[in-house]
A and B are shown apart, each in its own frame.
Chain A
């Protein structure tokens, strides 16, 4: 629980003149659920995508389990991760079970079709979806069901590290609560390290062990969830209490 699974050291990333990350330093411990909060456009998704190699930081180092994230066997590296994308990012042309079992039907983890389907159905059941959903297409599902399918896909190959990009965005409060509970159960059950991006403070309180707030391209505050309300940081206070007035300037 104490050794670091993911370490960010002085990570910088720009898009043209927009310097999104200006020196991120952050450690995520093994088996920990770290939630990243911060205003829109502060680079939270950029941070996660940089770990996976979807974006390349201009400066700084990202280490996963003590090894540089950019070195070594790419497939073996990615096989350690599962990711739930904000919009689900389910493949339209594939059925639900084919989406969930995608990784199990090709590459190093390939197994027979029947076995892959059985695992997919089991993972769907784990996220509260019945077997009849397996043969539907993503477009035929509601937003909440798509999130669950995305969650099932993220955990299908039982990854060590799971990233969740805004898991409750666009869901009604009850469905968001269900997803939060599911998330907590799955992460605890699998013993996985989790990094979640969210704006939903009820979600933060439900799933976080630790919280990091990004502001102005840097980690403004990080600490255990229990310390969040008494941090004494005016930026964090403004954000978690959703106040319009404060040091964070809102674009109106």
Chain B
């Protein structure tokens, strides 16, 4: 009996802890959404966040997708050559980038950059009583801190993914035309002909979901940060890890939803 108890109780505690966390995050998400549609709206803060999350993430997303597009072209060429299918490189690079790699890799890079920065910023604000100060100044922290970040990330991420798609395809084009012997005009034609609007749209929808996840995880862990430098550090790590895992999990679910007949 005691052995069974000793074996089962940690599992039970972990399960309860996990369920409690899921519940708290669900309440946080619902509260955030309810504040998005109710005034007051802090447009200046939204604009600042759009710049911070969107514009300043462009270099990291651009570089990531550029090199990924190039590597993808090399991989597909090497794999395709085994059954004389080298000509599919432009179309597979394009489809791979816009459906999967643009939004997912962009989302993961933004998760690393933005989720961490939001969690660290809000965590520090919590530890230094700045969030309490907001309340005493009749300003709701969810409205002033969370909503602008979540809305900005949800809007900025598809734009970033769209730009990332173009840069990634361009990376594949450069490799294809300079190293793999593709004719530039034929490469572009192949890319455009095989790409459907749903390929692009589905990727952008995914990116919007990933943007929402990144900001919500950053805000949730920041607002619930523990005390001191260690608490803020842990919140930052948890924000990045949870955002990354949720991006990958939701990517699978969305892919299944969009592309399973």
Q: List 7 A-B contacts (CB under 8 A).
A: A52-B136, A54-B135, A74-B138, A85-B129, A87-B129, A103-B137, A107-B138
Chain A residues closer than 8 Å to B125, beta-carbon distance: 91
> What are the interface flags for A154-176 relative to B under an 8 Å C-beta threshold, 1 for contact and 0 otherwise?
00000000000000000000000
> What are the interface flags for B124-154 relative to A under an 8 Å C-beta threshold, 1 for contact and 0 otherwise?
1100111011011111000000000000000
Chain B residue at minimal CB-CB distance from A78: B138
Smallest CB separation, B46 vs chain A (Å)? 13
Chain A residue at minimal CB-CB distance from B124: A92
B40: Cβ under 8 A from any A Cβ? yes
Determine whether the beta carbon of B40 is less than 8 Å from that of A106.
Answer: yes
A53 to B137, CA, bound (A): 12
Chain B residues closer than 8 Å to A1, beta-carbon distance: none
Determine whether the beta carbon of B135 is less than 8 Å from that of A102.
Answer: no
* Contact among A78, A90, A106 with B136 in the assembled complex (CB-CB below 8 Å): A78
- Residues of B at the A interface (CB closer than 8 Å) are 40, 42, 124-125, 128-130, 132-133, 135-139
A75: Cβ under 8 A from any B Cβ? yes
A103 to B133, CA, bound (A): 11
Smallest CB separation, B224 vs chain A (Å)? 15
A92 to B133, CA, bound (A): 12
Asked if A75 meets B138 with Cβ closer than 8 Å, knowing A106-B40, A107-B40, the reply is yes
Determine whether the beta carbon of B138 is less than 8 Å from that of A89.
Answer: no
A183: Cβ under 8 A from any B Cβ? no
A11 to B258, CA, bound (A): 56
A83 to B139, CA, bound (A): 14
Chain B residues closer than 8 Å to A52, beta-carbon distance: 135-136
Chain B residue at minimal CB-CB distance from A86: B129
Determine whether the beta carbon of A85 is less than 8 Å from that of B138.
Answer: no
A75 to B130, CA, bound (A): 18
Q: Knowing that A87-B129, A89-B133 are A-B contacts, what are 4 other residue pairs whose CB atoms are under 8 Å apart, sorted by A's residue number?
A: A89-B132, A102-B139, A103-B138, A106-B139
A74 to B40, CA, bound (A): 15
A49: Cβ under 8 A from any B Cβ? yes
A79: Cβ under 8 A from any B Cβ? yes
Chain B residue at minimal CB-CB distance from A52: B136
Asked if A53 meets B129 with Cβ closer than 8 Å, knowing A106-B40, A107-B40, the reply is no
> What are the interface flags for A66-80 relative to B under an 8 Å C-beta threshold, 1 for contact and 0 otherwise?
000000001100110
Smallest CB separation, A180 vs chain B (Å)? 22
A79 to B42, CA, bound (A): 19
A53 to B132, CA, bound (A): 10
A81: Cβ under 8 A from any B Cβ? yes
Chain B residues closer than 8 Å to A81, beta-carbon distance: 136
Smallest CB separation, B51 vs chain A (Å)? 13
Asked if A85 meets B132 with Cβ closer than 8 Å, knowing A106-B40, A107-B40, the reply is yes
Smallest CB separation, A147 vs chain B (Å)? 14
A89 to B135, CA, bound (A): 12
Determine whether the beta carbon of B40 is less than 8 Å from that of A54.
Answer: no
* Contact among A75, A82, A89, A107 with B128 in the assembled complex (CB-CB below 8 Å): A89
Chain A residues closer than 8 Å to B42, beta-carbon distance: 106
Smallest CB separation, B260 vs chain A (Å)? 45
Smallest CB separation, A245 vs chain B (Å)? 32
A89 to B133, CA, bound (A): 6
Smallest CB separation, B121 vs chain A (Å)? 8
Smallest CB separation, A103 vs chain B (Å)? 5
Asked if A53 meets B135 with Cβ closer than 8 Å, knowing A91-B130, A107-B40, the reply is yes
A244: Cβ under 8 A from any B Cβ? no
A108: Cβ under 8 A from any B Cβ? yes
Chain B residues closer than 8 Å to A83, beta-carbon distance: 133, 136
Determine whether the beta carbon of B133 is less than 8 Å from that of A79.
Answer: no
A249 to B62, CA, bound (A): 62
Chain A residues closer than 8 Å to B138, beta-carbon distance: 74-75, 78-79, 103, 107-108
Determine whether the beta carbon of B133 is less than 8 Å from that of A91.
Answer: yes
Smallest CB separation, B134 vs chain A (Å)? 8
Which A1-59 residues sit within 8 Å CB-CB of chain B? 49, 52-54
